Amino acid sequence: MSHLKNTGFADRLTAQQEAKKAMLAKFKAKPAVQDPDFDKREELRAAELEAVRAARAEAKEKARLEALAREEEVAAARRAERKERKALEAAEMRVRKEEKAKGRDELRALGKTSNSKASRAHAWGNLLG
């Protein structure tokens, strides 16, 4: 068949080179058509990322403020408990002082009214015991 085409050696070499070039051209990267909204998509992605970051920062700040509020509530409860305990201790101290003063007054009165030492000792024993 090659004799029908009247091709010589040089023609066959040229045809071979062209076939190789055509094959290589199939594997080459073809220039892609760039999307006209490419820049807009980048801006949208950046805006979405910024929105997500802002939401996370807001949630983090909210959680921090809630934690501070809880800590403040706990501290206020502790302060109130401490105040209540101190007030109770002060009231108990007043009662003890009043009882002591009352006992002292009774002892003084007993010392003034009783004539015998035995009756005073007996009365003191009753008051102390």
The token pair that represents 10 in the structure block: 């040089």
pLDDT of the residue at 129: 59
Can you tell me the mean pLDDT for 79-89?
Answer: 96
Query: Contact 110/123 with Cβ under 8 angstroms?
Result: yes
pLDDT of the residue at 62: 97
* CA 119/CA 111 separation, integer angstroms: 10
Question: For residue 16, is pLDDT > 90?
Answer: yes
The token pair that represents 60 in the structure block: 């983090």
Can you tell me the mean pLDDT for 74-84?
Answer: 96
Say which residue, 25 or 114, is predicted with more confidence.
25
Say which residues have a Cβ less than 8 Å from residue 124's Cβ, sequence separation at least 6: 107, 110
The token pair that represents 76 in the structure block: 């206020």
Residue 111: pLDDT band with limits 50, 70, 90: low
Can you tell me the mean pLDDT for 105-112?
Answer: 75
